Structure 1
Amino acid sequence: MQIKSISRNLIVAISMTAGTTTMAQQAPAEKNPLLQQYETSFKVPPFAAIEPAHFMPAFEAGMKAQQQRIAAIVNQRSVPTFQNSVVALEASGEQLRNVSTVFFNLTSANTSPELEKISREIAPVLAQHSDDIYLNAGLFAKVKKVYDQRAAAPLTAEQQRLLEKTYKAFIRSGANLDAAKQSEMRAINKELSLLTVRFGQNLLAETNSYELIVDNEADLAGLPPSLVTAAAASAKEAGKPGKWRFTLHNASVMPFLQYAQNRKLRQQIYTAYTNRCNNGDERDNKEIVAGLATLRAKKAALLGYATHADFVLEENMAKTPAQANELLNRLWTAALPVAKQEAAEMQQVMDREGKGEKLEAWDWFYYADKVRKEKYNYDAEAMRPYFQLENVREGIFAVAKKLYGITFTQLKDIPVYQEDVVAYEVKEANGQHIGVIYMDFFPRSSKRGGAWMTSYRKQAIDKSGRIAPVVSIVCNFTKPTATEPALLTPDEVETFFHEFGHALHGLLSNVKYETLSGTSVPRDFVELPSQIMEHWAFEPQVLQLYAKHYKTGQLIPADMVEKMKAASKFNQGFATVEYLAASLLDMNYHTLAAGQKIDPLTFEKEQMSKLGLISQIAPRYRSTYFQHIFSGGYSAGYYSYIWSEVLDSDAFAAFKETGDIFDPATAQSFRKNVLEKGGTAEPMDLYKAFRTRAPEVKYLLKNRGLDTN
C-alpha cells in the first residue's frame, strides 16, 4: 500500500491527521529543529531532536509562510505566467510540507498520546488552511488566467500537466462555487478531517487493546513452535510470564487462525478481529462511517458530481464507477463459484473428522491449510526457515540491481525515528546518489497495522539539480525471538517485495515538479510498480538468491518450490472473493446519493446479501475497520489493487515473453516509461509506451486460476 504523502506545493491534501498544543507546550522557534535547515546525513529529519511540542509552532510557521507567499502571488502586478503563478504556488508550501511529512509519518509508524492529541486538534486547522488556498478568488484568478492562455504558452508536456493538475485542483475544491456553497464546503471539510482522524485512532486503540491469553498448554495444539515462542515472549512483555499472548496484529492472529486446533479459541479471536470498532463503546466507528459516507456524498453533490465515486474516479484510470464495477463484477462472477467449491472441499474434510461440525468463517484458514497439505503436500510454515528477513532483503536488493543496476548500502550514522529502523543509501551503477530508503519491519503498539510506503522527501529538480528522495517502507512482520531471527511467511515475503516496488517508484522518479513526482499518480495506477515486483519473489532463479535455510545456509529444496508453485492457485477463490467483497462495499458506500442515510451494519449486510457472499467469508475489511477507505486515502479506490493487477500481470508477461525475467531492454523500458515518469502523463499513455498496447485481463485470470477457457 502506498499512502499519500504531503506535497511541497499548495496542494496540501492534508485530510489525514494533526493538532494544536497550548502556548505552554510550544517550543521557541529558534530551538525548533523542524524550522531549521537539517544538518544531518542526506538532510533527513533530525528525529532525535524532534519533540511533540515542536510540531504546533512548526505547523503555524509553515502555514504562515505559505500564506505570505500566496499573498505575494495574488498581489503581484505582473501578468500571470506559469512561472510567477503556478510554479510559485508549487513552491509556496515547502516549509509546511517538511513539517507535515514528519508528523504524519510518525503518527502512522511511531505515534504517542501526545501526537494523537495534536492530530485531533490540528486537523480542522489544516483543513481550513487548505480551503483558504483553494477558495482564494484572487489566487484562482491568476491560475485560471494562465490556464486559459495555455495553448499560446511555450510549455513543455510536464509543465502543461502541472498546470492542468493545479487548475483542476481548484475546480475540484470548489473555486467556482458561490460564497454560500463555499462556506458549506468549508464546514464539510472540517468535519471530514476530524472524523478521519478519529476513525484511525479508534482502530489503532482497538487493535492494541485486545489480547487472547492462553494459560493451558494443551490449547496451543497445532501452533508452530515459532508462534508459541513469540506468544510467550509477548505475554512476558505484558507482565504475564508463563502464559501465551495472542493479539489482533496480523503476525499473531493469522497464523493462530491457520494452525490452532482449539476451535473455540479460533472463533473467539476471529470474532474479535472482525468486530473491531463495533462494540458500542468509545472506540465504536459506526457513526463515523455513516458520517464520512454522508459528508462525502454531500461534498460531491456540491461540486456537481452524482456521487463521491464519480468525483474520485474522474481523476483515475477507471474514470467512472460503472467501469470500475464492470471489472469487479466480471471477476466476482468467475471467483464466487471457485470459493464455493473450496468451501465444499473443506466441509468434506470436516465430515470425515466426524464431529458433526459445519464450516464457519473462523474455520476457513484452518481447513484451507488442511486441504492444501492434503492436495499438494505443501506447508507454508515449513518455508519460514528459508525466508530469514535479512536474506530476503538482500534478495530484493539483488533483484533491483539485476533489473535497474542500482545498489544499496546500509547507513550506520543516520537519524532514525525508532531503534528498529534501518536506512540505506541507493546509488546508480556508476555510484551516483539516487536517494535514501528507510525500512521499519516489526509491529509495535505505536504503529498502525498493515504495510505501506511513504516519503519524507519527494524527488524533484531545482536550480541546483536533482533533489534526492527519502522514502520509507513500513511493515508488521513476524519479529525475531530469543532463539530465532525474523523468519517470514511467504505472504510476508510477497508484502516486502510489494512495498519495495512502491519504494522504487519513489526513488527512481525523474521529473521536475514534486506534484508530479514518483507515486503522485492515480490510485488505480500507483499499485502497478508495487504489484509487478511481487512476480519476481518466488521465481526459481530469484529464490536461489535469497531462500537459504537460516541454520544450514542450504538453498530451498526444488521439490518444496514445486509444491509451492502447484499450490499457488489454491484458495484463490477465497482470496479473490474476500477482496472483491471489500472493493464492492467501498464502491457501494461511495455511490450513495447525497442525503441518503444509512446504518453501516445494515448497509453492509444488505450489500453482501445482494452479491451472494457466502457466510463463511467476510469482506477483507468490514466497515468499522476499513482503514483504507475511511482514513487511508483509498475511498472509492480500493478496487485499484485488482485494476492494477490487470496491468502488472500483463506487464510481467512482457518480461516472460523475452525468456528472461531480467531482460535488460524490458527493464529499461519499464524504468523509463513508468518508474521515472511519475504523474507527468496519462497512466494509460505511460503503460502503452512500455507495452506498445493496452493491457489484457487474461493474464490476471490465469495467475489467479480463474481462467475458465
Structure 2
Amino acid sequence: MNPFLSPFNTPFATPPFEEITNAHFLPALEQAIQEGKQEVAAITANPEAPTFENTLEALERSGEKVGLVSGIFFNLNSAETNDEMQALARDISPLLSDYTNDIMLDEALFARIRQVHAQKDQLSLSPEQHTLLDKTYKSFVRNGALLSEAQKQRLREIDKELSQLSLQFGERVLKETNTYSLEITDQKDLAGLPGHAVEAAAAAAKEQGKEGSWLFTLHFPSYIPFMTYADNRQLREQLFRAYGSRAFKGDEQDNQETILKKVGLRQERAQLLGYASHADFVLEERMAESPAKVFEFLETLLGYAKPVARRELEELTQYAHSLGGPQKLERWDIAYYSEKLKMEKYAIDDEMLKPYFKLETVIDGVFQVAGRLYGLQFRPLKGVQVYHPDVQVYEVLDEQQQHMAVFYADFFPRPGKRNGAWMTSFRGQKKVAGENVRPHISIVCNFTKPTATTPSLLTFNEVTTLFHEFGHALHGILADGTYESLSGTSVYWDFVELPSQVLENWVYEKESLDLFARHYQTGEAIPEEMIRKIKASANFMEAYQTVRQIGLARLDMGWHIARAASITDVGAYERELLQDTDLLPPVAGTSTSASFSHIFQGGYSSGYYSYKWAEVLDADAFEFFQERGIFNKDTADLFKKHVLSAGGSEHPMELYKRFRGKEPSPEALLRRTGMLN
C-alpha cells in the first residue's frame, strides 16, 4: 500500500516516514502529476468567463499532492539520502520540470489568466489577491507564455537539463565531502586541539575500523575545530586544500564542465525570455531590482569594509609574527591565529563558552525567546513518525493554547545529510474553505554530536546558527496567509533572510542569554563579564568577513552576467572576479565555484548578495527593538503582523515600512559592525 495514495492517518496529518520507502515516491508522483493535470484541464474547460476565483484560486489549489510528494522527497534527499534516492532524483527532477512547463506553457490557461489580469483594476481584490494575480501572470510570462512554439520547446529542454545539472553538482560535492578523511596516527599531531574534537575524531576512526588513530573530515563539526586549533600548520594546509579542491580535480567528480554548461543554459534561457542576463531575469523579482543596484550596493559596502579589513589583517599578521608564526599568512592560518588573537584581546574563546551552550538548553532558550516575543509554546510531540532517530518533534501552541504548527528539529551530521544548516517545510500554511491549515516546519543542522563523556556543546557560532534557522522557522510557524504560494518564507529572496538574521541578535543580549546560558555541569548562569566579552568581540575580524562575503556575492553575480556564458576556464575567471576582494593570495588547485552549492545547486543564483542586504534590514530592525527593549511586546507584535505572518502577501518594502515606519538605512549595519568612520 502506497502511503501517499490516501490521506495521512497520523497526528496533524504528519508524513508517515516509517511507512514510506523509496519505491513509493515515483508511482505516487506520477499519479499526483496526473491529478494535477486533470485539475488544470478542469480550469481551462470551464465554460464560464474567467474570474479570479475560477482561474487564479483554482490554479493555486491545484497540484497539492505533487507538492506534498516532491516536498517530502527532496527534503529527505537533503537530510537522509542514499545512492538509490539520488538515482531516483535523476528521474523525478525532469518529471517535475515537465509538469511545471506543461502548466506554464498551457496557452488556454494563460489566456484565462491574461484576461483576468487585464481587468484587475476593475476587480475588488484584496492586496493579497492582487499579489497572487500579478505574481501568477508574471510567472507565466517569465516561464515563456509569450514565446513561439519552437521557443517554448527549447525552454522545456533547457529547464530539464538545468534540473539535472543541479542534482549532479550537489551529488558530486556531497561525495567529495564524504569521501575524504585525514587520518592521524601520531598523537603529537593533535596538539592544540580541544578534547571534544579529539574524542570525536577517535570515535570517527573507530567507526571506520581504524581504532587507535583519529579521523578528521570535511564536515564542519570536524573541519572547523581542526582549522581553528590544530598547531600543525602542514596538516591545516592539507585539510584546507582538500576542502577547497572539492569537485575541482579534473576527475569524474569534477564540477567545472557542469558549471560552464549551467551558466550557458541560464544565459540562453534569460535571452530567450527577453532579458540581458540571468541576473537581470532573477533580480526583476527581488528588492534589489537590477544587477546595477546589486553591484552598487556591494561596492558601497566594500568601500567601508576593505580599509578596515586590511588593518585587521595587518594586525593579525603582526600578532602571528610575535608568536613566531609565518612571515606571510595563508588561508589556512587565518582561523588559527584569529582565535588566538581574539583570546588575547578579549580573553574569550569557544572552548570557554561551550560549557554554557549545551544543545538542549539552547533549544529551550530559543523556545523561551519565541515565547516572550510571540507567545509561542513548544511541547514534545509523541507518536509522530520521524525519518531518522535523531529527529525531535514538537507541537507549537499560541497563547490561547491553539495549535500553530508541528516543528521538526534534526541537529547532527551523518553521511546521508548534506553540510550546512537550513529550514524547510513538509507542509505549508494556507486557508481553505474557512480552515486555517497549519504548517509542518523543520530545521536541519550539523552540530557536534554528544560523545560517551560529553553532551553536545555548541560553539558560539553554532548557537547563532540555531537562532538563525529558528528565525526562518518562526517565519513558517507564524504564517497566516490565504494562499500557500504567498505564505511564510514564500517572499523575495533578499527579504527571506530578515527573520533569520534578526533573531541572531538575541544571542548577544544579556537579557536573552540569562534565560538559557548555563554551565552544563554546575548549572551556573553565564557570567556577566563573559557576556560583555561576547559583545565586545562580536565585531572581531568583521570587516575581513564582510569583504569575504562581498567576494562571494560578486562571484555569484559574475557567473550570471551575460559575459559569463563565453567563459571557458572556471579557475581563471574566478580569480579575476575575486581579485578586488582577495586579501590573501589564491591557492592553486582550489576553487570556490566548484563547490558553491548555494548558487549551482540551491536557489541563490544572483541572490548571494541577499545575506548582506538582509543584514542591512536586520541591523535596522534590531535597532528598533533595542530602542524599546528587546522583549517589548508592541514591537514584537508589529514584526509578527507585518513581517512574520504577512509572508509574501505584499511587496516586502511596503511590509517593512509598516513595521519600521521608514525604509531601512545601511548606516545601522555600519554602526553595528564598527565600520562607520
The answer to whether the Cα contact below 8 Å between 2:245 and 2:591 also exists between their aligned partners in 1 is: no
The answer to whether the Cα contact below 8 Å between 1:338 and 1:573 also exists between their aligned partners in 2 is: yes
Paired with 1:595 and 1:254, the residues of 2 have a C-alpha distance of: 35
The answer to whether the Cα contact below 8 Å between 2:547 and 2:581 also exists between their aligned partners in 1 is: no
Paired with 1:255 and 1:330, the residues of 2 have a C-alpha distance of: 33
Aligned to 2:330: 360
The answer to whether the Cα contact below 8 Å between 2:330 and 2:584 also exists between their aligned partners in 1 is: no
How far is 1:444 from its partner?
A: 0.5
Cα offsets for 1:286-335 (capped at 9, x unmatched) = 11111111111111011111111110010000001111111111111222
The answer to whether the Cα contact below 8 Å between 2:263 and 2:565 also exists between their aligned partners in 1 is: no
Q: Are positions 1:122 and 2:81 aligned together? A: no
**3-state SS, counterpart of residue 562 of structure 2:** coil
Aligned to 2:479: 509
Aligned to 1:540: 510
Please tell me the residue identity of whatever aligns with 1:684.
Answer: M
Q: Are positions 1:394 and 2:364 aligned together? A: yes
The answer to whether the Cα contact below 8 Å between 2:364 and 2:516 also exists between their aligned partners in 1 is: yes
How far is 1:706 from its partner?
A: 1.3
Aligned to 1:214: 184
Aligned to 2:107: 137
Aligned to 2:308: 338
The answer to whether the Cα contact below 8 Å between 1:309 and 1:591 also exists between their aligned partners in 2 is: yes
The answer to whether the Cα contact below 8 Å between 2:429 and 2:438 also exists between their aligned partners in 1 is: yes
| Aligned equivalent of 2:266, options 272, 291, 296 | 296
Gaps of 5+ in 1: 1-30
The answer to whether the Cα contact below 8 Å between 1:336 and 1:577 also exists between their aligned partners in 2 is: yes
| Aligned equivalent of 1:385, options 331, 355, 361 | 355
How far is 1:589 from its partner?
A: 0.7
Q: Are positions 1:322 and 2:292 aligned together? A: yes
Aligned to 1:171: 141
| Aligned equivalent of 2:647, options 675, 678, 692 | 678
Q: Are positions 1:89 and 2:26 aligned together? A: no
Paired with 2:23 and 2:514, the residues of 1 have a C-alpha distance of: 49
How far is 1:155 from its partner?
A: 1.6
**3-state SS, counterpart of residue 546 of structure 1:** coil
Q: Are positions 1:606 and 2:561 aligned together? A: no
1:99-498 to structure 2, matched below 5 A, reads: 99-354=69-324, 357-498=327-468
Paired with 1:160 and 1:398, the residues of 2 have a C-alpha distance of: 37
Please tell me the residue identity of whatever aligns with 2:187.
Answer: E
How far is 1:396 from its partner?
A: 0.4
The answer to whether the Cα contact below 8 Å between 1:581 and 1:613 also exists between their aligned partners in 2 is: no
The answer to whether the Cα contact below 8 Å between 1:301 and 1:594 also exists between their aligned partners in 2 is: no
The answer to whether the Cα contact below 8 Å between 1:350 and 1:358 also exists between their aligned partners in 2 is: no
How far is 1:611 from its partner?
A: 4.3
The answer to whether the Cα contact below 8 Å between 1:434 and 1:508 also exists between their aligned partners in 2 is: yes
How far is 1:422 from its partner?
A: 0.2
Please tell me the residue identity of whatever aligns with 2:27.
Answer: P
Aligned residues between the structures: 676
Structure 1 128/594 Cα, relative in aligned 2: closer, same or farther at 3 Å? farther
| Aligned equivalent of 1:689, options 658, 661, 664 | 658
**3-state SS, counterpart of residue 514 of structure 2:** helix
Please tell me the residue identity of whatever aligns with 1:323.
Answer: K
Please tell me the residue identity of whatever aligns with 1:675.
Answer: L
| Aligned equivalent of 1:640, options 607, 610, 619 | 610
Paired with 1:627 and 1:488, the residues of 2 have a C-alpha distance of: 25
The answer to whether the Cα contact below 8 Å between 1:516 and 1:678 also exists between their aligned partners in 2 is: yes
Structure 1 215/516 Cα, relative in aligned 2: closer, same or farther at 3 Å? same
Aligned to 1:25: none
How far is 1:355 from its partner?
A: 5.7
With 37-46 and 338-347 compared, the bigger mean Cα shift is at 338-347
Paired with 1:594 and 1:229, the residues of 2 have a C-alpha distance of: 46
**3-state SS, counterpart of residue 212 of structure 1:** strand
Cα offsets for 1:601-627 (capped at 9, x unmatched) = 111011112445432799x98101111
The answer to whether the Cα contact below 8 Å between 1:578 and 1:617 also exists between their aligned partners in 2 is: no
Paired with 1:337 and 1:616, the residues of 2 have a C-alpha distance of: 20
Please tell me the residue identity of whatever aligns with 1:152.
Answer: Q
Please tell me the residue identity of whatever aligns with 1:532.
Answer: V
Aligned to 2:674: 705
How far is 1:593 from its partner?
A: 4.1
| Aligned equivalent of 1:70, options 15, 26, 40 | 40
How far is 1:530 from its partner?
A: 0.5
Paired with 2:233 and 2:163, the residues of 1 have a C-alpha distance of: 41
Please tell me the residue identity of whatever aligns with 1:379.
Answer: D
Q: Are positions 1:563 and 2:533 aligned together? A: yes
**3-state SS, counterpart of residue 536 of structure 1:** helix
**3-state SS, counterpart of residue 245 of structure 1:** strand
Paired with 2:323 and 2:372, the residues of 1 have a C-alpha distance of: 50
Please tell me the residue identity of whatever aligns with 2:633.
Answer: P
Paired with 1:71 and 1:55, the residues of 2 have a C-alpha distance of: 24
Paired with 1:684 and 1:348, the residues of 2 have a C-alpha distance of: 45
With 111-120 and 375-384 compared, the bigger mean Cα shift is at 375-384
| Aligned equivalent of 1:580, options 538, 550, 559 | 550
How far is 1:380 from its partner?
A: 2.1
How far is 1:591 from its partner?
A: 1.1
The answer to whether the Cα contact below 8 Å between 1:206 and 1:277 also exists between their aligned partners in 2 is: yes
Paired with 1:159 and 1:215, the residues of 2 have a C-alpha distance of: 64
Aligned to 1:669: 638
The answer to whether the Cα contact below 8 Å between 2:491 and 2:648 also exists between their aligned partners in 1 is: yes
**3-state SS, counterpart of residue 300 of structure 1:** helix
Aligned to 1:629: 599
Paired with 1:371 and 1:330, the residues of 2 have a C-alpha distance of: 29
Structure 1 625/594 Cα, relative in aligned 2: closer, same or farther at 3 Å? closer
Paired with 2:583 and 2:145, the residues of 1 have a C-alpha distance of: 42
The answer to whether the Cα contact below 8 Å between 1:297 and 1:593 also exists between their aligned partners in 2 is: no
Paired with 2:184 and 2:484, the residues of 1 have a C-alpha distance of: 51
Q: With structure 1 as the length reference, what TM-score do the two structures score?
A: 0.94
With 34-43 and 604-613 compared, the bigger mean Cα shift is at 604-613
Paired with 2:580 and 2:645, the residues of 1 have a C-alpha distance of: 43
Aligned to 1:525: 495
Please tell me the residue identity of whatever aligns with 1:705.
Answer: G
Please tell me the residue identity of whatever aligns with 1:678.
Answer: G
Q: With structure 2 as the length reference, what TM-score do the two structures score?
A: 0.98
Gaps of 5+ in 2: none
Paired with 2:126 and 2:328, the residues of 1 have a C-alpha distance of: 64
Structure 1 642/386 Cα, relative in aligned 2: closer, same or farther at 3 Å? same
Paired with 2:639 and 2:97, the residues of 1 have a C-alpha distance of: 37
Cα offsets for 1:357-402 (capped at 9, x unmatched) = 4211101110111211222222222100000000001110110011
